[in-house]
Amino acid sequence: MDHVNTFESRTTYRLLRAEYGVALAVCGTLLLRHLGEIRWVPAVVLFGYIDLIGYLPGAIAYRRSRGAPIGRRYYVLYNLMHSVVTQAVVAGLWAWWVRPEWALLVIPIHLCGDRAIFGNFLKPFSVPFEPGPADHPRAGGACHACLCSAGAPRR
């Protein structure tokens, strides 16, 4: 993948997930090593607000739509809240206005967990908010532009 070919092969997708898995393991290890120093109310709030703002509104709208397209604002909310850039700003502001603390590790744990464990990255407008394998933009035929699961032969 490069700046011209913005797609992932099955292998590069797995490697990207593995990289986030390593980051998840590092953050999880740090969290466990400092378990006694964590303020749990801020940790729970910081972990949960990402999905409360970024995922739940879109998930509810998608389920209510019964398969019809939903507004792009839900994708924007999801992508904004699940952006490493946004969450780095949030963590930086928290550290500045409140205090630096180990509870902030739940932010990268959330983002890295979404990517490494669930395979969820930012959402493009071109697929349903909750896509299945048949919803891939190239699912109708052979996928020659990329080696994604919709068109790539099994190896």
Q: What is the pLDDT of residues 19-42, one digit of tens each?
A: 999 999 999 999 999 999 999 999
Q: What is the pLDDT of residue 33?
A: 98
Confidence of residue 13 (pLDDT cuts 50, 70, 90): very high
Helix and strand numbers, DSSP H then E, in the chain: 6, 0
Residue 93 token pair: 């502001």
Confidence of residue 67 (pLDDT cuts 50, 70, 90): confident
Q: Calculate mean pLDDT across residues 116-126.
A: 94
Residue 124 has pLDDT above 60, yes or no: yes
Q: What is the pLDDT of residue 3?
A: 61
Confidence of residue 151 (pLDDT cuts 50, 70, 90): very low
Confidence of residue 154 (pLDDT cuts 50, 70, 90): very low
Q: Give the residue, 127 or 62, on which the prediction is more confident.
A: 62
The number of CA neighbours under 13 Å toward the Cβ of 38 is: 20
Q: Residue with structure tokens 């303020």?
A: 39
Q: What is the pLDDT of residue 147?
A: 45
Task: Residue 58: name the closest of 139, 132, 131 by CA.
Answer: 131
Total residue count of the chain as it appears in this document: 155
Residue 61 token pair: 């709208």
Task: Render pLDDT for 68-94 as a digit per residue (tens, 0 to 9).
Answer: 999 999 999 999 999 999 999 999 999
Residue 143 token pair: 């996928």
